[in-house]
Structure 1
Amino acid sequence: MDLANIPVLSLEADRDDLPARIGESFRTFGFAMIRDHGIDQDLIDRAWALTREFFALPEETKRAYHLAGKAGARGYTPFRTEVAKGATEKDLKEFWHVGRDLPEGSPLADSMPPNIWPGEVEGFEETFKTLFARFDAVGAEILSAIAVHLGLDPRWFDPAIDDGNSVLRLLHYPPVAEGAGGAIRAGAHEDINLITLLLGAEEAGLELLSKDGEWLSVAPPEGAMVINIGDMLQRLTNNVLPSTTHRVRNPEGERASYSRYSMPFFLHLRSDFPFVTLPQCISADNPDQYPDVITADDYLQERLREIGLKY
């Protein structure tokens, strides 16, 4: 398996030319890597430990936090529930979702339910509220660089993501048992949201599909974060910034007996944000491919049905 040659950029040292460099990386791969992102390593280490502790709980304990009818928006989603769009086999994973805490009386409350927290894991709520806020801040910095790259005001995205429907997902891929058939840890898919920020996993497996149709391994160096474009940003930019297909393949040999943990932050727009294609991304060679105006929540609900989280 060849390695994707994605440059590792510094959020600090490369700040002045970050818009151009991250834009080039996104246009080439749909992915970027960022170090010096400012999220404290102690916080990250604590989050990994609590993630492992939660998923080690008995199945019946975890299922008590599964909220039927909420499309996995908060709390626990059991193993083999989600399916990649267009796939037939459900993914070999279970996960927990942490969302944004809205102010009382928010008009967005209907699309963003309150968080729930597992009482069995000490420090869980405090740790993941803090980590959510740090991801949120780093994501806004990345979007500011993207805005400049697109010829927009550096703060163009700020009102679009204010109280956005972002989600921090704690993922557990259990050891792969014999008889999994054609199922893999995460089938080939594109993310729904604007951008995804991903802390590196100890176990390998993340792969992107290159423009040449070749699967390439994505392996961030220690301390770096993977950023990838989601379908919402692809739509907003009229496909100028592509949402790249990626997957998590099954391990082979001895590694099949190991769990894999991952922690993506799916940065979303406000639920009531209307999709209007950016004029900067429309040209004679690239006419508007998304003339219909829909809200971010309409788009999200449509995609949740496609991946089996909503019926």
Structure 2
Amino acid sequence: MTDKVFGVEVQKEFDVLEKKWDERVFVKFYLAARTSGLLAQISDRDFKTLVVLATYMDKDGNCYPSQKEIAKALGCDMRTAGRRIRSLLKFWFKGEKIVNSVKIRNKNQQFKNTRYTILPVTNLQIFSKDGENNPSSEPEDTFASRQDLSNPSSEPEDTFASRQSCPTNKNQCFNKNQNNNKEVVFNLNNKTFSEKESEIMRTLTIEKVTDLKKQELKNIIKKYNNTVLNDSLKVTVKDLKAGKVKTDSIRYLSGVCKNMFAEYSKKQQQEIKGKEKRVENARLLKKSYENLELDDEKVQELLNRNFGKEIIKQI
């Protein structure tokens, strides 16, 4: 048995009613990912990125997903996806890189897209039901294949009812259940929401969110103060009503908070610099008054008139 880590299996099935072939594609996960030492060496982040690329690859290990597609699959923005891809490209296993990337140019020598090649050291490959490599070899050691070994050579009963209830093999059944459970949805009345999370969801008229969006909302609240949050929320609501929001409202709120925070920080820095300048001017003026030999009471009166008590305290 070959030491595979992943397999991307392609299965075809003829739909008698629709009179057409249906194609199913899914990733198989092999125990060799653990026994080969790959899981021990690769980071969680790089491994997740590798899995995403594996779902796009062809029989030669090549894939051409855009950065936007990768970002969507990872559940992050495009800048973060770029960092994750660069991190994966730097990872070596058993003295070899596991992924290469090449910029593809069009006829005008302009960059068109990027080709990622998942190298043989990972043992990732495409499988086809009609012709797997070495079909006479031992059964594949997958989690799904271990669930029912009582009659490995038997074929599932080919009935209309069985097609509706489950795909045609154990691996597909397992994959279907995994896909159904990969996202958890939280309703607004869920008790795990904090008071601020519930307030924002009600304001944005959001009735339910996935676990990823719930975490994104939690991070927004943790990162920004109430002033930034409340002002950003007002802007987001206004833009929602005006039809300007093209993404989901939580992602949009995150962007508004980022811009608002940068604007407030810049304004704060300007105020600090302005204050420092006024303090310095007050010091110079005080010195000039003293050179005129004015009494202390008169100097204090003139300084208060021009700068105020807050500035005078700092000179």
**Which TM-score applies when normalising by structure 1?**
0.22
Larger Rg: 2
Q: Normalising by structure 2, what TM-score?
A: 0.22
More RCO (CA 8 Å, sep 6+): 1
